[in-house]
Amino acid sequence: MNKLLLLALIGCVACDDPDPKPDDKPAETPRVLVFYKTTGFRHGSIPVAMQAIQQRSAAENMVVDTTNNAGRFTTEGLKPYAAVVFLSTTGDVLNPTQQTAFEGYIRGGKGFVGIHAATDTEYDWPWYNGLVGAYFFGHPNIQRATVRVSNTTHASTSMLPAAWVREDEWYNFRDLYPGLTVLATLDESTYSGGTMGATHPIAWYHAYDGGRAFYTAGGHTDESYAEPLFMQHVMGGIKYAVGK
């Protein structure tokens, strides 16, 4: 096979590609943007997570671009994407103009996925609080806990056991948005440091302002992204956000 043709067929999932080419894949192939800008704590698991999401997405016939450049948040810059993933973002990551563009994107029927520290992001942007579903309010040390899966019909939880035991950094939350459909809760009797009681949400989804939003609080550790069940959970959330 001609070498140039082979390279074209193999393609490349771009990291920080300033000009992704939406036409280099068939129109039915969803394209997802993973955004990982941080202005606060930066999770060391971000590169591992990006690689895992890219690999899994390729197997699911989805294309993933990644960026920490907030300048991509314009009407034209977001247009190629069916969904945007905020991967452990922290702090103020978008300026007012970029926020407006992202609001318009979601109102156009597109999807959002928040992973882990996406709730530790944009505390002064009420619209984002509604989109992501809650704000971070502290965590204990990394430890094993039991996740109680309450919804087994959603794409992100249909494969999970009713009692899902795993190790991670377990978030407490504040400012929970009232319209959330909770998928799973933390059993605070199985670990130390929970502050939310018997209804401690840890993953949820909802329709929001014309679009779709999914959030999972897992994913602090590198090891999370080598867990088959956790990655199926994340990919199910991405599929929901994309509309598959």
For the chain, the domains span 27-136+173-183+201-242
What's the CA angle centered on 52, arms 1 and 241, to 5 degrees?
105
Phi, psi for residue 188 in degrees, rounded to 5: -65, -15
Integer Rg of the chain from CA: 17
User: pTM for the full model?
Assistant: 0.89
Confirm if 219 and 230 have CB atoms less than 8 A apart: yes
> To the nearest whole percent, how much of the chain has pLDDT over 90?
87
Cβ count near 180 (within 10 Å): 18
Res 223 pLDDT > 60? yes
Instruction: Tell me the C-alpha distance between 221 and 85, whole Å.
Output: 18
pLDDT at 134: 98
pLDDT at 51: 98
Residue 29 tokens read as 């192939």
Residue 43 tokens read as 């999770």
Res 13 pLDDT > 80? no
119-144 pLDDT, tens per residue? 999 999 999 999 999 999 999 999 99
**What would the mean pLDDT of 79-94 be, rounded to a whole number?**
98
Instruction: Tell me the C-alpha distance between 49 and 30, whole Å.
Output: 19
Instruction: Tell me the C-alpha distance between 38 and 133, whole Å.
Output: 19
Cβ neighbours for 123, distance < 8 A, ≥ 6 positions apart? 129, 135
Res 22 pLDDT > 90? no
Model confidence at 19, in pLDDT bands (50, 70, 90)?
very low
Fold exhibited by the domain 27-136+173-183+201-242: Rossmann fold (3.40.50)
Residue 100 tokens read as 């407006």
